[in-house]
Amino acid sequence: MTKYAPLLSAAAFAALGFFDSGALAQESEGEAVEEGVEEVVVWGDAHGSREAGYASPISVLTQEDFAAINVATTEDVVKYEPSIVIRRRFIGDSNGTMGIRGSNMFQTSRSMVFADGVPLHYLLQSRWSGAPRWTMVSASEIARAEVIYGPFSAEYGGNAMGGVVVIESAIPQKREFHFDSSLYNQDFAAYGFDDTVSGYKTFLSYGDKLGDLSLYLSYNHLENAAQPQSYFYGAGVSSSGPVPVTGAVTGKDSRGNPQLWFGDSGVEDTATDNYKVKLAYNFDDWSALLNVAYEDRGTVADARNSYLRDSNGNRVWSGTVEQGGQVFAVPASRMGVSELERDSLSVGLRLRGDLSERSRLEFNINEFQVLRDETRSSGRNPRDPAYTPDGQVNDYGDTGWQTADAKLTVDGVLLPGVTLVSGLRYEAYELNLDVYRSSHWRAGSQDSYSSRSGGETGLAAAFVQAGWDINEQWNLTAGLRYEDWQSDKGYYSDDDPATPAFDIVQAPSQSRSEASPKLSIGYLPSRDWNFRYSIARAYRFPIVEELFSQYQAYNSINEANPDLLPEDGLHQNLMVERLTERGSVRVNLFTETIDNGIESQSTVLPGGASIRTFIPVDEVETDGIEFIANVYGFADGKLDMRFNLAWTDSVTVRNAADPTLEGMRSVRMPEWRGNLMLDYQLRDNWDLGANLQYASDSFGRTDNTDTEDNVYGAQDGYTRLGLKSTYDLENGIALGLGVDNLTDEIAYVAHPWPGRTWYFNLSYDY
């Protein structure tokens, strides 16, 4: 721990006894026990911090906890939980990446998301392309969510270095119909853009129970316009005869250098349709759940803005220009437009049942296919006088994954109080990306290859974990996970113009095996206190993009690195928990040491283009403290509160590739994060909620030179206040009004966070 840890931990421990009066209203993990709440049936296992098999810090959310959140999409449900950041730049963003604890928001393969046992995490790509497929699950169908911190359970591999989000949806127990619709409105102003953008969501679901069969059908349509996500400045050049212009916005970049900003990416229009079928069937002591989800997603980014005007008042879209004596280039491709079409299909099957009074068996099978993922881009803006239909097409083919696992749980093994969990898991991933030159980008013509890359990875794992209730005060959990990983069929292009064929390089294959031990010791001196120390080794193997992705697009070049080794992490957590009569207070002290951390490192070239590759960072150390207070039933039982504050210190200790980076803070890792959710029951049918989200400044560059605040490209701190009110009318109708970012704070996480956003909600239940 760093020198500040003792001071912070002492302050946190002093607060443990703060909330300690009134009637018991809530279990420590947040499961509702209030009388009169209708039972919600889910098929997932609930965890408890006092159980012997508990090895990881866990935060649990039920439907009652969602009341203070303006929930538009699934990631909204968990974005206020401790040590979590979700980079959702606008409602409907397909790049809603998640970071947990010492894993930043672009280290997407260090966190996992499951919904009804089906993976939503995208372990094929990283950074913005590796965001979980949140929209494969509609927020309106969620019954419960758990956040499991760190890789302390042998049930999860190294992709749980940050943590795991486990979502469970409700299973219909009777005939039901649900409808909800939301309108969104955002005012946004930055650089040369000042406008209002809006959108809406419509969700329909039907459920029924016919004997032993439960049926659930749903349709979710989300359509929204986003504020501009990128802003462009020109690279200085020496040229004779530049075109005189006006309109460029004077400002600074994230490193404090003065720049002339000449345009932005304009409003993006996104539309997503999600179709879901769930069939649940009970027979004897067994149950089966079939989960089929289809997503159709489209994005149109055809409204790029040029701020520049020539002497005749015409917009300037490309070329070499001059303003105020400064000559700079406007690359034509920066103002190009694009369209995305993506279709995805996920099929999952969960089967579980009792083998005997003391043993249970569970199977999960999933297949995820990218049916179509095509991005068509123009080489110039259609309003550019030099425009032609030439462009580029990015096409993902034969991309997706298959997973299967089996888990056996046996109680009372060898000794009373011992529960043994063992299992097997198999994962196979494939990604293929072809980039084409196109003579007609809008039609999607694929005339010749510009680059090609792809490959496969596979993982076979076995684990065993035993939880032992030694006595009323002590318990022990020990586990071991063995993983056998391989990469295969990797390739990338290295074309020789002198040969007639497009040349492909076959990348070398790899295979590695690792064993990850886990240990957790719990001490419960009384019913009110709970102490637990956990330690775990975890290995996170490279994903397909990190190994094989190599391409050259208009503004970026990516180099493959097929020889990457797995990340090697040692994780520790000390938890102190105090149960009170109104909830719980918890402190977690955690430390992580990651060797061979796979980091995307890039260099910006003149004109704004970048070249990047995945290079291992030899050692990164992260220390942190979380203070969490979940307290229920204030003010005559009407006020509930969830509060958390996290301090994190993450530093590069060794980096042979560039020793000058040693001692630098890890990128996109704020030192402080905090969240507050308040829910007040004004009347039986009227609910008032408030939420507050805080983060301190961080860095986006590994050399920590990006210190300028409130500019495009910065990693700003922010304080965002939200309000929400829901009023239940008779006959199943409810009205809601909410706002996020009430103070309209404009901050950047490289791209701009949303401005003040208003929500209007209408729902109906039958």
pLDDT tens string 53-96: 678 899 999 988 999 999 999 999 999 999 999 999 999 999 99
Output 9-18 pairs: Cβ under 8 A, ≥24 positions apart.
Answer: 9/587, 9/589, 9/625, 12/587, 12/625, 12/627, 13/576, 13/587, 15/585, 15/627, 15/629, 16/576, 16/578, 16/585, 16/587, 17/578, 17/580, 17/585, 18/585, 18/629
- Stretch (H or E) spanning 251: strand 249-252
Three-state secondary structure call for residue 335: helix
Q: How far is Cα 344 from Cα 610, in angstroms, rounded to an integer?
A: 30
Is the pLDDT score of 704 beyond 60?
A: yes
C-beta separation of 203 from 177 below 8 A: no
Q: What is the pLDDT of residue 296?
A: 97
Q: What is the pLDDT of residue 54?
A: 79
List CB contacts of 356: < 8 A, sequence separation 6 or more: none
Q: Mean pLDDT, the chain, as a whole number?
A: 90
Kindly report the backbone phi and psi dihedral angles of residue 324, in degrees, each rounded to the nearest multiple of 5, phi listed first: 60, 30
Is the pLDDT score of 30 beyond 80?
A: no
Q: What is the pLDDT of residue 553?
A: 54
Other residues' Cβ atoms within 10 Å of the Cβ of residue 546: 23
Is the pLDDT score of 46 beyond 80?
A: no
Is the pLDDT score of 15 beyond 60?
A: no
Question: Which domain, by its residues, includes 697?
Answer: 5-44+174-230+265-302+337-718
C-beta separation of 649 from 4 below 8 A: yes
C-beta separation of 598 from 568 below 8 A: no
Does residue 40 sit within a domain? yes
Q: What tokens appear for 422 in the block? A: 């063992």
Other residues' Cβ atoms within 10 Å of the Cβ of residue 299: 19
Residues facing 293 on adjacent strands: 276, 346
Would the CA dihedral through 73, 75, 81, 87 be positive or negative? negative
> Residue 17 — pLDDT band, cuts 50, 70, 90?
very low
Is the pLDDT score of 11 beyond 70?
A: no
**Which CATH number goes with the domain that contains 401?**
2.40.170.20
Q: How far is Cα 318 from Cα 250, in angstroms, rounded to an integer?
A: 19
> Residue 235 — pLDDT band, cuts 50, 70, 90?
confident
Q: What is the pLDDT of residue 728?
A: 94
Is the pLDDT score of 560 beyond 80?
A: no
> Residue 23 — pLDDT band, cuts 50, 70, 90?
very low
> Residue 236 — pLDDT band, cuts 50, 70, 90?
confident
Does residue 281 sit within a domain? yes
Q: How far is Cα 426 from Cα 483, in angstroms, rounded to an integer?
A: 10
Which residue carries 């650089």 as its tokens?
191
Other residues' Cβ atoms within 10 Å of the Cβ of residue 21: 9
Kindly report the backbone phi and psi dihedral angles of residue 108, in degrees, each rounded to the nearest multiple of 5, phi listed first: -70, -25
Is the pLDDT score of 19 beyond 80?
A: no
Q: How far is Cα 257 from Cα 705, in angstroms, rounded to an integer?
A: 11
Q: What is the pLDDT of residue 611?
A: 61
> Residue 657 — pLDDT band, cuts 50, 70, 90?
confident
Which residue carries 């196109």 as its tokens?
438
Q: What is the pLDDT of residue 637?
A: 85
Is the pLDDT score of 52 beyond 90?
A: no
Q: What percent of the chain has pLDDT over 70?
A: 90
Q: What is the pLDDT of residue 276?
A: 97
Q: What is the pLDDT of residue 8?
A: 39
Is the pLDDT score of 332 beyond 50?
A: yes
Range scoring the smallest mean pLDDT among 373-382, 550-559, 648-657:
550-559
Q: What is the pLDDT of residue 571?
A: 98
Burial 397-419 (b: 16+ CB within 10 A, else e): eebbbebebebebbeeeeeeebb
C-beta separation of 708 from 254 below 8 A: yes
pLDDT digits (tens, 9 = 90+) for 194-208: 999 999 999 999 999
Q: What is the DSSP track for 172-230?
A: -SS-EEEEEEEEEEEEEEETTEEEEEEEEEEEEEEEEEETTEEEEEEEEEEEEEE----
Q: What is the pLDDT of residue 354?
A: 94
Q: What is the pLDDT of residue 600?
A: 73
Residue of 416 and 680 predicted with greater confidence: 680
Q: What is the pLDDT of residue 353?
A: 95
Range scoring the smallest mean pLDDT among 21-35, 94-108, 245-259, 646-660:
21-35
Q: What is the pLDDT of residue 515?
A: 98
C-beta separation of 117 from 682 below 8 A: no
How many Å separate Cα 180 from the centre of its chain?
25
- Into how many domains does the chain fold? 1
Q: What is the pLDDT of residue 37?
A: 35
Q: What percent of the chain has pLDDT over 90?
A: 80
Q: What is the pLDDT of residue 32?
A: 36
Does residue 219 sit within a domain? yes
Q: How far is Cα 623 from Cα 299, in angstroms, rounded to an integer?
A: 40
Average pLDDT for 355-365: 95
Output 355-359 pairs: Cβ under 8 A, ≥24 positions apart.
Answer: 355/408, 358/410, 358/411, 358/412, 359/408, 359/409, 359/410, 359/411
Range scoring the smallest mean pLDDT among 213-227, 474-488, 557-571:
557-571
| Terminal Cα distance for the chain, rounded | 54
C-beta separation of 656 from 619 below 8 A: no
Residue of 634 and 183 predicted with greater confidence: 183
Q: What is the pLDDT of residue 763?
A: 96
> Residue 738 — pLDDT band, cuts 50, 70, 90?
very high
Average pLDDT for 269-281: 97
Average pLDDT for 138-143: 92
Is the pLDDT score of 4 beyond 50?
A: no
> Residue 494 — pLDDT band, cuts 50, 70, 90?
confident
Average pLDDT for 555-569: 80
Closest CA to 369 of 350, 349, 348, 346: 346
pTM above 0.95, yes or no: no
Three-state secondary structure call for residue 156: coil
